[in-house]
Chain A
C-alpha cells in the first residue's frame, strides 16, 4: 500500500488527530480522497457513489485549514476538531456551488441559491466537501437503483446493491472515497446501506438535526444523520450537525450532548438490552440471525442484562409506513411542476399550464416516485383518508406506545438492521413489495421518532451484516455507548475492523465479469 492509500483507510478521528499533530495536511488528505474517487468511482465497473465531485472547492477549504493551522494562535485553537477532514454529502441536501439533483431528472442541472443548515455547519467547521453522493430518486428506494443517474455498486460485491436510499454515501465509506458523509433516513436510508456495506450509519432522534435544506420525502419521518466507518466517527459528526435550528420548527430546542464521550465508553455492565421479539425470525436470512445472536452473546458476556421484549404492533408498522410516507411525499413533491425551477417539459403543440405541469411530472419523475405519489394521493383522498392515513396514524401511536413500554424495561433495543445481506443488482427492481420488506426492522424507529444506529456485525456468506441499536427519544448517547461496546468487542475478536476486510477494489474490478443490472445503466460521467 502506498502512503495515501493508508491515509484514506484511517478513521475520521484518526485523520483529525494527525491533522492536529501536523503529521499530515488537509490538502494531502483531501487530495488522497479525490485520487481514490478518480481511481474507483468511474468507469463501467466503477462504484459510482458520486453524482458530482467538487475538487476545487474541497482543496481550497483544505488549504484554508492548513493555513490557519500553520499560522497557529487563537484561530488555530478555535478550529473544529474535525476541521480539514473531508466529507461527502447526499445529493438530496442542497448546496451552493454544486448541483443538487436528489437523483432525479426533475432537478438535473439545478443549482440551489442557499445552503442546507447542515451544509452551513460543515462549512463553518471547515470540512472540505468532496461532492454529492448518489441515492434513489428523492430518497425513495432501498437499493439506489432508482437513481435517475445510474445505480451505485456495493464495494463488497460489485454486482450487488449498496443499500438505499443512501447507497452512495455508504459505498463511499466502504470504498474509502470519504471518511464521513451525510445521509437522510426516512425508513432506514442511512442504517440499511450501512448494514449491507459493513459501515456505520445513525439516525438521530427526530429533531436532533435540522432538516432545513434537505429535500423532503416525508417530513414527519425524515431525519438527517451521520454516515461513517466507526461509531465514534458517527458520534463526532452528529455532534457537529446537531442542535436547534430556528429555521426548522420540528428541531429539538435542547441539543443532544455527550455523544462522542458515550461512544468512547465501552462498559456495558448493568446496561439493560432488549431483544425485540418481532424483529427476528420469519423473513430474516439465517446468516443474518447467526451474526445477530453472536452479537447478543458478546454483549451478555460483557456484562449487559439481556431480556426479550415484545412490541406487538410492529407487525403493522410497515403497512402504516407505506401510507404515511407516500401521503406526505405526494404533497412534498407537488412543488416540482416546472413553473419556478428545474426541468420544464412543454408538449409539442404547446399546452395549458395543467398540460405543462403534467408533461413535466410525467417526464421528470421515475417509476418508484410516481408509484408513491399516486399511492399517497389516493390515501389522502376524501372518503379514504380515515381508512388509510387516519388508520396509519393510529398504528403510529400504538408503535410509539410499544416502544415506551419496552423502554420502561430496558435501556436500548437490539435487532438485525436488515433482514438480508445485499441482494443482486436488478433482483428486486420489478418487485416493489419485496423491496419494501427490506425496511421492516428500520421503519419502526422513524414512526416513533427514536434514534437508531447500524454497526457491522460480521459477514454472512462473505457479505456484511448489520446490527441495529434503538434507544428512547433523546437517548442518542446511550445508543452510541451500546453500539460502540459491540463494535470494539467484535474488532477485538476479528483482530481488525470489518471494513478493513473489504475486497481490494482494484483487484475486484479487474477480475469480476460484467454483472447483471448494468445494461442501460451507464454509471459515472453524469454531472461530473
Chain B
C-alpha cells in the first residue's frame, strides 16, 4: 500500500476554521431473481462466470431487456425517499473502456432518472433530526469483479494478470445521490454514519436488497469539501470510493476533513479526485484525478424503449410500502414505554425487529427487552457475533417466558437454556426435556433437602426463629445446591417456613 504521508489537523482544529459540505452516492444492489438486462441469475458467491448469458458477456448481437421487477423496486425506493417519480424515463450509455464492463459501456440512467427531488430525515444519536435532500435515485447495472494478481498495489496497472468474474456484471443497482449537505458542522461524521444507516434500513425494510454492506450490497462514495467558516462558496471536493460499513463512512469523512483542512490551512488547494479508503489505517489515498471534463460520451440507449410510469401503477406500489423505519421506531417506542436511553440501546444493539417480533408473539415489552438486552446480548458478546446472528429466535424467547410462567424453569435455568438454544440444541422446551432441567417441584424431595439444610445450619435457623426472615436465603442456597439449581426458590422458602412453623 502507498505510504501515507498526508499531514492532518486534529478534528477540533479543522472544525475551528472550516465548515464541511458532504455529499453521498449510495449504490444499492437489488435482490431481484435475475439481472438488470438479462435472464441470468442475480446471486452472490457462485462459481465465477457461471451466472452469465450471452448478454452479460457482451457477445456480438446481443440486446438488453429491462427487468420489470427492478423498475418496480426503484419506484418503491423513490417513494420511500419522498421523491418525484418520472412519468417517462430512459437509459443512456456511459462509454468507457475497462475490462470489467463487457460492452465497454455501462447502461445507466443519465439525464432522466426514475426518481428525483426527494428527502430523508436522518436521526442523529441524541435524537436531533437532520433533513438530507435527495437529488436523484437512478437505475443502472453493476460491473464485473476484477481480481488483480501480482503487483504491489493491488491495482490493474502493475498486476501480473487480472481475473474477471462477470457474475456481478449486470446486477441491478440503484444509485442514490444527495444534494450537497451543508450546515452540519462537527456532526458531519455522525451524520454520514446515520445517513448510510438510514438508507440501509430503508432498502432492507422495503425488501428490495439484502442490504449487507460487508457483501457490497450497499456501497457508499462519500464526497467531502471544506469552506472557511463564515463563507458560503463550496470548496473543491474529493470523492472517497467504496466505503463499505457505516462506521467506516464516519471515519472516512473525519479523515478527509482533517486532511483537507491541513492542506487549506497551509495555503494549498484541494485536488478534485477520487480517493481510496483504507480500513486498516483509517486513511484515504489519492485515486485518479476526476474532473467535470471526464467524457463518458453519454447518449440515449437506442436498444431500449422509454419506461412509462402511470399514476395508477405508482399508487399501487405506494400502497405496498411498509411503514418507514423512522416512523415505526417512533411508534414502537411509545407502544413499549421505553425510556429514550433504553430505546436507543435497543436500536444500537440492532434487536428492534427481534423485540418487536417477541412482543408480537405474546411477550411483554419489559420481558422481551430483559432477555434480548440481557442474557442474549451477553451470549452474543461472548461469541463475538451480532445478536441477530446468534441463532436465538423471538419464538425461543417466548417459549422460555412460558416455561418460567408455568414454573417449569426459573430465571437461572432459563439463561442456561438460552445458551443451549444458541448452541443449536433445539427449542427451549426440547432442551429442558432432553437435559432434565425442569425445576424440582416434588415437595417430598424438596422437604428432604430443606430438612437437611435446617439440620446442618442451626445458627441460621436460630436467626430465622428470632424474626430475621431474610436469613431464609441462607437456607435456600444449600437446597439449590442439593437440587442442582432445579428448585423453585419461592417454593423452597414456603417449605422452610412450614418446617419451622412460622408465618410471615
* B window 73-105: CB within 8 A of A: 93, 95, 97, 99, 102-105
* Given contact pairs A381-B297, A382-B293, A113 touches B303 in the complex (Cβ within 8 A): no
Chain B positions 293 through 309: 1 when the CB is less than 8 Å from some CB of chain A, otherwise 0: 10101110011110000
The answer to whether the Cβ of B501 comes within 8 Å of any Cβ in the partner chain is no
Decide: B63 and A249 in contact? CB cutoff 8 A: yes
Chain A positions 319 through 332: 1 when the CB is less than 8 Å from some CB of chain B, otherwise 0: 00000000110110
Q: How far, in whole Å, are A213 and B55 apart by their CA atoms in the complex?
A: 10
The answer to whether the Cβ of A100 comes within 8 Å of any Cβ in the partner chain is yes
Q: How far, in whole Å, are A62 and B60 apart by their CA atoms in the complex?
A: 29
**Shortest CB–CB separation between residue B65 and chain A, in angstroms?**
5
* Given contact pairs A331-B105, A337-B104, A249 touches B303 in the complex (Cβ within 8 A): yes
* A window 345-399: CB within 8 A of B: 352-354, 357, 377, 380-382, 385, 389
Q: Could you say which residues of chain A place their CB within 8 Å of the CB of B66?
A: 249
Q: Could you say which residues of chain A place their CB within 8 Å of the CB of B293?
A: 382
Decide: B65 and A334 in contact? CB cutoff 8 A: no
Decide: B303 and A340 in contact? CB cutoff 8 A: no
* A window 213-266: CB within 8 A of B: 213-216, 218-220, 246-250
The answer to whether the Cβ of B59 comes within 8 Å of any Cβ in the partner chain is yes
Decide: B299 and A327 in contact? CB cutoff 8 A: yes
The answer to whether the Cβ of B157 comes within 8 Å of any Cβ in the partner chain is yes
Q: How far, in whole Å, are A213 and B60 apart by their CA atoms in the complex?
A: 7
Decide: B156 and A212 in contact? CB cutoff 8 A: no
The answer to whether the Cβ of B61 comes within 8 Å of any Cβ in the partner chain is yes
Q: How far, in whole Å, are A110 and B299 apart by their CA atoms in the complex?
A: 29
The answer to whether the Cβ of B54 comes within 8 Å of any Cβ in the partner chain is yes
The answer to whether the Cβ of A94 comes within 8 Å of any Cβ in the partner chain is yes
Q: What secondary structure prevails in chain B residues at the interface with A?
A: loop
The answer to whether the Cβ of B57 comes within 8 Å of any Cβ in the partner chain is yes
Q: How far, in whole Å, are A381 and B298 apart by their CA atoms in the complex?
A: 8
* Given contact pairs A331-B93, A334-B95, A352-B157, A219 touches B303 in the complex (Cβ within 8 A): yes
Decide: A335 and B299 in contact? CB cutoff 8 A: no
* Given contact pairs A112-B60, A213-B61, A340-B57, A353 touches B99 in the complex (Cβ within 8 A): yes
Q: Which residue of the partner chain B has the closest CB to A338?
A: B99
Q: Could you say which residues of chain A place their CB within 8 Å of the CB of B62?
A: 212-213
Decide: B61 and A250 in contact? CB cutoff 8 A: no
Q: Could you say which residues of chain B place their CB within 8 Å of the CB of A494?
A: none
* Given contact pairs A249-B66, A334-B97, A220 touches B302 in the complex (Cβ within 8 A): yes
The answer to whether the Cβ of A107 comes within 8 Å of any Cβ in the partner chain is yes
Q: How far, in whole Å, are A33 and B304 apart by their CA atoms in the complex?
A: 40
Decide: A389 and B97 in contact? CB cutoff 8 A: no
The answer to whether the Cβ of A339 comes within 8 Å of any Cβ in the partner chain is yes
The answer to whether the Cβ of B216 comes within 8 Å of any Cβ in the partner chain is no
Q: Could you say which residues of chain B place their CB within 8 Å of the CB of A377?
A: 297
Chain B positions 153 through 193: 1 when the CB is less than 8 Å from some CB of chain A, otherwise 0: 00011000010100000000000000000000000000000
Q: Which residue of the partner chain B has the closest CB to A215?
A: B60
Chain B positions 45 through 71: 1 when the CB is less than 8 Å from some CB of chain A, otherwise 0: 000000000100111111111100000
* Given contact pairs A334-B103, A357-B97, A250 touches B303 in the complex (Cβ within 8 A): yes
Decide: B104 and A94 in contact? CB cutoff 8 A: no
Q: How far, in whole Å, are A220 and B305 apart by their CA atoms in the complex?
A: 10
Decide: A249 and B95 in contact? CB cutoff 8 A: no
Decide: A215 and B102 in contact? CB cutoff 8 A: no
The answer to whether the Cβ of A481 comes within 8 Å of any Cβ in the partner chain is no
Decide: A331 and B61 in contact? CB cutoff 8 A: no
Decide: B61 and A249 in contact? CB cutoff 8 A: no
Decide: B304 and A249 in contact? CB cutoff 8 A: yes
Decide: B105 and A334 in contact? CB cutoff 8 A: yes
* Given contact pairs A381-B297, A382-B295, A385-B299, A339 touches B61 in the complex (Cβ within 8 A): no
Q: How far, in whole Å, are A250 and B91 apart by their CA atoms in the complex?
A: 13
Decide: A219 and B302 in contact? CB cutoff 8 A: yes
The answer to whether the Cβ of A102 comes within 8 Å of any Cβ in the partner chain is yes
Q: How far, in whole Å, are A330 and B61 apart by their CA atoms in the complex?
A: 15
Decide: A212 and B93 in contact? CB cutoff 8 A: no
Decide: A389 and B61 in contact? CB cutoff 8 A: no
Counting chain A CB atoms within 10 Å of each CB, which of B57, B64, B99 scores highest? B99
Q: Could you say which residues of chain A place their CB within 8 Å of the CB of B156?
A: 352-353
Q: Could you say which residues of chain B place their CB within 8 Å of the CB of A337?
A: 97, 99, 104
Q: Could you say which residues of chain A place their CB within 8 Å of the CB of B64?
A: 249
Decide: B99 and A249 in contact? CB cutoff 8 A: no
Q: How many residues of A contact B (CB 8 A)?
A: 45
Q: Which residue of the partner chain B has the closest CB to A245?
A: B63
Q: Could you say which residues of chain A place their CB within 8 Å of the CB of B303?
A: 216, 219, 249-250
Q: How far, in whole Å, are A107 and B60 apart by their CA atoms in the complex?
A: 9
**Shortest CB–CB separation between residue A447 and chain B, in angstroms?**
13
Partner of A389, one of B99, B164, B299: B299
Chain B positions 277 through 321: 1 when the CB is less than 8 Å from some CB of chain A, otherwise 0: 000000000000000010101110011110000000000000000
The answer to whether the Cβ of A48 comes within 8 Å of any Cβ in the partner chain is no
Partner of A353, one of B58, B162, B295, B302: B162
**Shortest CB–CB separation between residue B97 and chain A, in angstroms?**
6
Q: Could you say which residues of chain B place their CB within 8 Å of the CB of A340?
A: 57-59, 102
Partner of A380, one of B58, B99, B164, B299: B299
Decide: B305 and A249 in contact? CB cutoff 8 A: yes
Q: How far, in whole Å, are A215 and B298 apart by their CA atoms in the complex?
A: 21
Partner of A212, one of B63, B164, B299: B63
Decide: A331 and B95 in contact? CB cutoff 8 A: yes
Partner of A248, one of B63, B162, B295: B63
The answer to whether the Cβ of A211 comes within 8 Å of any Cβ in the partner chain is yes
Decide: B58 and A335 in contact? CB cutoff 8 A: yes
Q: Which residue of the partner chain A has the closest CB to B98?
A: A353
Q: How far, in whole Å, are A331 and B64 apart by their CA atoms in the complex?
A: 14
Q: How far, in whole Å, are A88 and B445 apart by their CA atoms in the complex?
A: 97
* Given contact pairs A215-B61, A335-B102, A328 touches B297 in the complex (Cβ within 8 A): no
Decide: B299 and A116 in contact? CB cutoff 8 A: no
Decide: B63 and A341 in contact? CB cutoff 8 A: no
**Shortest CB–CB separation between residue B104 and chain A, in angstroms?**
4
Decide: B99 and A339 in contact? CB cutoff 8 A: yes
**Shortest CB–CB separation between residue B265 and chain A, in angstroms?**
35
Decide: B54 and A247 in contact? CB cutoff 8 A: no
Q: How far, in whole Å, are A107 and B58 apart by their CA atoms in the complex?
A: 14
Q: How far, in whole Å, are A152 and B449 apart by their CA atoms in the complex?
A: 108
Q: How far, in whole Å, are A94 and B63 apart by their CA atoms in the complex?
A: 13
Chain B positions 200 through 226: 1 when the CB is less than 8 Å from some CB of chain A, otherwise 0: 000000000000000000000000000
Q: How far, in whole Å, are A248 and B64 apart by their CA atoms in the complex?
A: 7
Q: Could you say which residues of chain A place their CB within 8 Å of the CB of B97?
A: 334, 337, 354, 357
Q: Which residue of the partner chain B has the closest CB to A246?
A: B65
Decide: A114 and B54 in contact? CB cutoff 8 A: yes
* A window 384-420: CB within 8 A of B: 385, 389
Decide: A334 and B61 in contact? CB cutoff 8 A: no
Decide: B103 and A335 in contact? CB cutoff 8 A: yes
28 contacts between A and B (CB under 8 A): A94-B60, A114-B54, A212-B62, A212-B63, A213-B61, A216-B61, A216-B303, A219-B302, A219-B303, A247-B65, A249-B305, A250-B302, A250-B303, A327-B299, A328-B299, A328-B302, A331-B93, A335-B60, A337-B104, A339-B99, A340-B57, A352-B156, A354-B97, A380-B95, A380-B298, A381-B297, A382-B293, A389-B299
B positions within 8 Å CB-CB of A:
54, 57-66, 93, 95, 97, 99, 102-105, 156-157, 162, 164, 293, 295, 297-299, 302-305
6 nearest CB pairs, A to B: A334-B104, A219-B302, A380-B297, A220-B302, A213-B61, A215-B60
